[in-house]
Structure 1
Amino acid sequence: MSFQAYLDTIEKKTGKNPADLRAMGAEKGWTAGDTLAPGVKPMAIVDTLKADLGLGHGHAMAVVALLKGLKKEGDA
């Protein structure tokens, strides 16, 4: 599955696009600029995304990659 396919599935399931997910990350204090804020643990983000948005582990990890700036829209 491509990274974009993960993002598409997340949007279909939650109604949140990548910009919404980045805004959520900033609002929750997970990000600083284009990466994770110091001291933020990826698994804490994953656990919150699973609980709040009903995402599975792989899709939650895709959001972490997006927030870290490791992946972006359109990536394979």
Structure 2
Amino acid sequence: MSYQAYLDALEAKTGRTPRELLDQAHEHGFGPTSRAADVVAWLKDDCGVGRGHAMAFWGVLTKGSTISDAHVGSTGTHRDASTELHLDGVAAREQDPR
């Protein structure tokens, strides 16, 4: 599963875009220095999200929306189309695919 696919699935599971979840995380006091275990526990307790999806979110929370180009342009299930992750949700991306 690509990084973007994890975020898209997180949106489907929670009904909130990654950007909305980032806003909620900040309201709960989470940010770039937050421990993964704390963020994973919050997402599990509040949203019923599993560890893999929570860890993908934690990566965005702590490192931002730019990812490594290790899988960009590659083949296989882990490939991403871009080093820039889309945080405004699937619907917004479908309207403005850039």
Q: Structure 2 length as normaliser, TM-score?
A: 0.63
Which residue of 1 is the match for residue 22 of structure 2?
A: 22
* Greater fraction of residues in helix: 1
Q: Calculate the TM-score normalised by the size of structure 1.
A: 0.79
Q: Which is bigger in relative contact order (C-alpha 8 A, separation at least 6)?
A: 1
> How many residue pairs are counted as aligned between the two chains?
68
- Greater Rg by CA: 2
* Amino acid in structure 1 at the alignment position of 2:8: D
- 2:59, 2:13 → 1: CA distance? 18
Alignment partner, residue 55 of structure 1: 49
Aligned match of 1:41: 35
Report the alpha carbon displacement of residue 71 of structure 1 after superposing the two structures with TM: 4.4
Whole-Å separation in 1 of the counterparts to 2:9 and 2:2 = 11
Following TM superposition, where does structure 1 have runs of at least 4 consecutive aligned residues deviating by more than 3 angstroms? none
Q: Which runs of 5+ in 2 are unaligned?
A: 67-84, 87-98
Larger relative strand fraction? 1
| Partner in structure 1 of residue 5 of structure 2 | 5
Gap regions ≥5 residues in structure 1: none
Could you tell me the percent identity over the aligned residues?
40
Deviation digits for residues 18-53 of structure 1 (CA, Å, limit 9, x no counterpart): 11011011101111xxxx24xx32101101111110
